[in-house]
Amino acid sequence: MRPARDGISEPSRPAIEAIRLSKAFGGVRALDGASFSARRGEVHALVGENGAGKSTLIKLLGGRLRPDSGEVRVLGQAVELSGPSSAHKFGVWTVFQELTLLPWMTVAENLLILREPRGPLGFIDRRRMVEEARAILADMGVNGIDPRALIDDLSLAKRQTVEIARAIARKPDALLLDEPTSSLGESEVDWLFGLIHQLRAQAKCVIFTSHRWNEVAKIADRITIFRNGRDIGTFSEIDESHAVSLMTGQRLDARYPNRPPLEEARPMLEARGISGPGVIDVSLTLHAHEILGVGGLAGHGHRELFFSLFGARPTTGGEILIGGRRARMKSPRDAVRFGVALVPEDRKTEGLLLPMPVGVNLTLAVLRRISAIGVLRNGRERRLAGEMVDALNIRPPDLRHPVGTLSGGNQQKVLLARWLLADSRIVLLYDVTRGVDIATKHEIYDLTMRLAGEGRAVLIYSSDAEELAHLCHRVLVMREGRIAAELEAPGVTAEDIVSAAVREPSVVD
Amino acid sequence: MPRASDISRSLDRLGLTRDRRRIVYAYLAAITLFVVGDIVHPGFARLDSVTAVLTVASFVGLVAVGQTFVVLVGGIDLSVPWVLNGAAILLVTTSLGRDSLSPYALLVTLGMGAAAGAVNGFAIAFLDVPAVVMTLAMDGIVEGLTLGLSGGMTCRACASYAPPVVQDAVHGSVFGVPAALILWFVVIVVVSFILSFTTFGRKAYAIGNNPLASYLAGVNVRLVTAFLYVLSGLFAALAGVLLVGFGGQASLGMGSPYLFQSIAAVVIGGVYMLGGRGHYLGVAAGAVTLVALVSVLLAMNMPDYGRNIIYGIVILLLLLLYGREEREE
Amino acid sequence: MSIEATVARPPTRIAYFLGQNAGLVLALSMLAIAIIVYCAVYWFAQAALPGNFEITSTVNNTMPLVLAGMGQAFVVMSRGLDLSVGGVIDLSNALAAVELHGDVARMVGWSALVLLIGAALGLVNGLLVGIGRLQPILVTLATLSVYQGLAIRVLPQPGGSIPPAYTSALVNPNQPYALGFVLLVGLVWWAFRRSRTGVSIIALGNDEMAARANGVDTVRARVTAFALSGFMSAAAGLFLAATATAGDATTGNGYTLTSIVAVVLGGMNLFGGRGSGIGVIAGAFVTTMIVNILFFSNIDPLYQSFYEGVFLVAVVVLSALIGGLLRRR
């Protein structure tokens, strides 16, 4: 933990302050009177678990959202931010988790949008635009990205690099970064930290969020810990276990339920040499009662692998065996028939029908069970759906409520319940605790353990290496579409997973 | 002054969700038009006048069935005009005005509609051709085939009449109610049932709401989508059959007003253009509203151009009315 | 999205151009092929190559579509659709027939006024879509009806006459001087791409939320896109009137859908954000070439729509296939 810097900049007037900010989404309080202040010439980290409110806070400070109550102050002055562009006027530039790049335009066009160099007649000079973009990228030490490339053709890591480069090129007074390293490799992270050092030396303010302790320790001057939407404390020095206990409010080992014992090594799903776009020669075996984890940096093939195992992505090679027999899965329908379930990452765009009632969402995968000759049996539907609502404690317990009005945690439970109804023997969980409040997270952990305990095979991907380390019997680490390492519990730590994941060729020298 | 969103929430609690409210509005609009029409042109709301309007609306309503199905999944069917027209011509030329040939003729005609829909559905669902483009092209394809094969309606068989059984079916009446209306009523019940109470309907709504989520839940998105276009073609052909039964003979261009009217009926009926929300009950009311509007304008002896202008303005007003509710929420 | 392998050799400028402009390249190739086929068919029919007369009339006949297509392109780039194109053309055509006479000053003045009216009509569309947050298809379908009504009001029967001097200036019947206007339209696109307005509209079509986060005024961009479309449609109406040398308030109707065809043939994606206006110009010419080819191949003109429809689908399916192959490289 870096000691607090002294003497370089006046800490008198804080650069950015959050004063008792609150924000709720459909009945769930993401932020509950959170406050903190960051100074000029300082690197300030916001730390907390998934769902603690860090992203929401960044969105409020960056102008993407408006607070329900509380104030944002820039240089001591209260400001009303109507959008990211109004934040820009105050010199506050943000790199959000959801990138704001225009996919069908080039890197150069994105870097210089609305600031393009003009020719003598007042029209954009496209050649000069490319040259200026090249200069910007070179200035910042970015070497592997051609300004003429289309954003859509770039990998996630390169896109994140472009977005970061764009924000810094605007010479911000305050730079906000939300999980900036989520898909960057080791040298790219070093590159970013180099730029952050430069900004600090120029007496600018840098605020970033992370749930990776070693990064935070490396670069932050001060950290503010968040839990359940509130700030717990600001520290210039703190050790990891203390920080973690503040983040979770519990002792480290009490956070996760115990893993069920591995009774039998009966393989339920076996993948041999699966290859396809984004996946190269992946082989793995899922056993009954087992929780197998898949880790690594975002964008390295996890999503493609999960979708391929669910029949939702075409494969160019390899085969899948279920219960020892070859299973041809060309669509999710086939997968469901074979007893495989996939709970996808983005419940809003990939999982749920938001305007439709909870009951409809719950029974979507088991239409045959609630109908006779194609006609829906209302009674049966209500009974089955009602059982699930009770079993998983879904609130509010009204089947007719549009699922979009439920909290993130309850929405996730609806999605899980859908597959519980389908009685799937093989469950693929893709980042199911993202954006979920802590209480629900624990319910989901318990549910996961129960699933495995009942004899199912569970495959989990999580962006949180801590979760994988504590929940899984084994962890496979993916890097560039391949399995790079296999780690056996007990004794796996988050660091093990992250270090196995980060070595890769990158865009920066 | 209560905000629209407060009123909406209170109505929600009474079980009148936004989608159901739209259906109610559509019926209110229809009733309002009859009242206004009677004021402007006394006698407009008499039983025989209302019946006439409803009968004409039934043809729009039939075409709108298909349009409802495809709009619910976020698509559109621009091939309606010539599938309808082609079906009418195909019926007369195949049956040659004879009852004996009519079963065969009906089979061929409805089959043509289904086939056109199947090609649309295949291209849209399986080849990812945008619905606007494919159905537009199909309209041209059917037009070309119809004109070419009939020699521009100069073939000998083209002047035939529709078989008497079809004509009677359309003109006849049961207990004083026109047969066409009874048929439409049956269609309304069947279609509403399909949408609300069958797995097929459930899948259609799911696809319209979120095709990816539906796919990942095991719904056969492509097949269901393609089949909806088959249904659209089928109902357009059916409308053509009934129209030619109504008028006796087929003519060129008889299908063109039905494109705009079917889409307008769908919109007035509260079906969401991007898919996933709405119901045929509202569309039926929308069809009646539309035809009633045209009839009122005709009864007022409004010249052609005036009808067009008022038509468009009324649609815009209705859109703004629905739109406002959406925005405040 | 894709796993980046280390690139041994950086892509050349040509490679980037091809990869990012696949639609334009395809459209230009199609145009080249169409011209060659046309010449071949003409040769077999007439034992000579198409001469000055054919070239001139082809260019003159394509001018309205070039303009209407470009206008539609602006709207499509913003992820919208303008179905009122036909109505604006009708109104512009009608006004031209009635008011274009007298001295040069009057004709120039009225031409400018008609263009402004077109822009205003487009502005209405833009405001309803941009600020009213209504669906483009529905709004423009309604305004189509209104504008058509207005056109019929202005010119109830085909008639009026366009002075020969005006016709000579726009669509000279003896020499293909209209190619100069085609070049002008191309320059308009060039300028559009390099202007703040153009960049805003293209960004909007890419991703509305991302555009706004980047400081783009998306409402203004949307409104401008529709206003530009109205302006171009009005210009198309003037050219149409000049070609026909008389006015008709209904000949513009077909241009709504053909302008969409030109956009699609031009390789522009209907979902917006990408594509080239130059491709749309090529697409307009391809459309006319098809008609010419059909004419000189002695294909029964009644089947014309059939071939056009098949062609449209074939192009879309093939270009999707080719595009997929190119991108996988």
For residue C130, count CB atoms less than 10 angstroms from its CB and return exposed for 0-12, middle for 13-18, buried for 19 or more.
Answer: buried
In-domain check, residue B2: no
Distance CA A113, CA A139 (A): 18
Q: Which residues of B153-184 are buried (b: 16+ CB within 10 A; e: fewer)?
A: eeeeebebbbbebbbebbeeeeeeebbbbbbb
| Chain A partners (3+ C-beta pairs within 8 A) | B, C
Chain C residues lying within 8 Å of B312, measured CB to CB: 142-147, 149
Average pLDDT over residues A122-126: 93
Helix (H, G, I), strand (E, B), or coil: what is residue C329?
coil
Task: State the best of A303, A376, A378 to mutate against chain B, taking most chain B CBs within 10 Å.
Answer: A376
Encoded tokens for B284: 């039926």
pLDDT at residue number A1: 37
Q: Chains B and C: how many Cβ contacts under 8 Å? A: 136
Ranked by mean pLDDT, which of A270-284, B300-314, C191-205 comes out on top?
C191-205
| Interface confidence (ipTM) of the complex | 0.89
Q: Where in chain A do CATH 3.40.50.300 domains reside?
A: 36-101+156-253, 256-339+425-503
Q: Which amino acid is at C179?
A: L
Distance CA C30, CA A504 (A): 44
Ranked by mean pLDDT, which of A370-384, B291-305, C161-175 comes out on top?
A370-384
Name A81's bridge partners: none
Residue bearing tokens 């008792």: A20
Q: Say which of C194, C207, C211 has its CB closest to residue A124.
A: C194
Chain A residues lying within 8 Å of B20, measured CB to CB: none
Distance CA B8, CA B24 (A): 14
Confidence category of residue C5, pLDDT binned at 50, 70, 90: very low
pLDDT at residue number A314: 87
Biggest distance spanned by C-alpha atoms of chain A = 78
CATH code of the region A36-101+156-253: 3.40.50.300
Contact C247, C96 (CB under 8 A): yes
Encoded tokens for C143: 């305004």
Chain A residues lying within 8 Å of C214, measured CB to CB: 84-85, 100, 102, 113-114
| Chain B partners (3+ C-beta pairs within 8 A) | A, C
In-domain check, residue B133: yes
Q: What is the pLDDT of residues A291-321, one digit of tens each?
A: 999 998 877 889 999 999 999 988 888 999 9
Angle at CA of residue C153, ends C148 and C154, nearest 5°: 100
Q: Is the model's pLDDT at C213 over the cut of 60?
A: yes
Q: Which residues contact C206 (CB under 8 A, 6 or more apart)?
A: A102, A103, A104, A105, C272, C273, C274
- Find the closest chain A residue to B216 by CA distance: A332
Closest CA to C70 of C19, C127, C118: C118
3-state SS string for A433-486: CCCCCHHHHHHHHHHHHHHHHCCCEEEEECCCHHHHHHHCCEEEEEECCEEEEE
Is A149's CB within 8 Å of C16's CB?
yes
* CB interface of B with C, residues 78-137, below 8 Å: 78, 123, 127-130, 132-134, 136-137
Question: What's the CATH code of the domain at B51?
Answer: 1.10.3470
Q: What is the pLDDT of residues A403-446, one digit of tens each?
A: 988 877 888 899 999 999 988 999 999 988 876 777 778 888 98
In-domain check, residue B3: no
Chain A residues lying within 8 Å of B202, measured CB to CB: 360, 364, 367, 376
Mean pLDDT of chain C, nearest integer = 89
Identify which has the larger pLDDT, B262 or A187. B262
pLDDT at residue number A49: 77
Task: State the best of B126, B132, B324, B328 to mutate against chain C, taking most chain C CBs within 10 Å.
Answer: B132
pLDDT at residue number A506: 43
pLDDT at residue number A441: 82
Q: Which residues contact A42 (CB under 8 A, 6 or more apart)?
A: A5, A9, A15, A200, A205, A206, A221, A222
pLDDT at residue number B9: 66
Q: Does C203 touch chain A (CB under 8 A)?
A: yes
Q: pLDDT above 70 covers what percent of chain B? A: 93
**What total number of domains does chain B contain?**
1
- So what CATH class is A256-339+425-503? alpha beta
Task: State the best of C299, C316, C319, C321 to mutate against chain B, taking most chain B CBs within 10 Å.
Answer: C316
Q: Does C3 touch chain A (CB under 8 A)?
A: yes
Q: What is the pLDDT of residues B304-317, one digit of tens each?
A: 788 889 888 988 88
Chain B residues lying within 8 Å of C149, measured CB to CB: 304-312
Q: Does C269 touch chain B (CB under 8 A)?
A: no
Helix (H, G, I), strand (E, B), or coil: what is residue C120?
helix
Is C199's CB within 8 Å of A113's CB?
yes
Name A322's bridge partners: A269, A325
Helix (H, G, I), strand (E, B), or coil: what is residue B36?
helix
Distance CA A366, CA A344 (A): 17
Q: Say which of C134, C156, C306 has its CB closest to residue B140.
A: C306
Q: What is the pLDDT of residues A328-375, one digit of tens each?
A: 989 999 999 999 999 998 888 899 999 899 999 999 999 999 999 999
In-domain check, residue B307: yes
pLDDT at residue number A496: 81
Is B213's CB within 8 Å of A353's CB?
yes
Distance CA A424, CA A401 (A): 26
pLDDT at residue number B328: 38
- Find the closest chain B residue to A367 by CA distance: B199
Q: Is the model's pLDDT at A3 over the cut of 90?
A: no
Q: CATH fold of C22-328, please?
A: ABC transporter involved in vitamin B12 uptake, BtuC (1.10.3470)
Contact C143, C81 (CB under 8 A): no
Given the DSSP bridges, would you call strands A457-461 and A222-227 parallel, antiparallel or unpaired? unpaired
Distance CA A162, CA C167 (A): 53
* Phi, psi of A368, rounded to the nearest 5 degrees: -65, -35
In-domain check, residue B8: no
Chain A positions touching chain B (beta carbons under 8 Å): 310, 312, 331-333, 335-336, 342, 344, 349-356, 360, 364-365, 367-368, 371, 374-376, 418
Range of the structural domain that residue B83 is part of: 14-328
Is C3's CB within 8 Å of A278's CB?
yes
Closest CA to A356 of B196, C137, C250, B273: B196
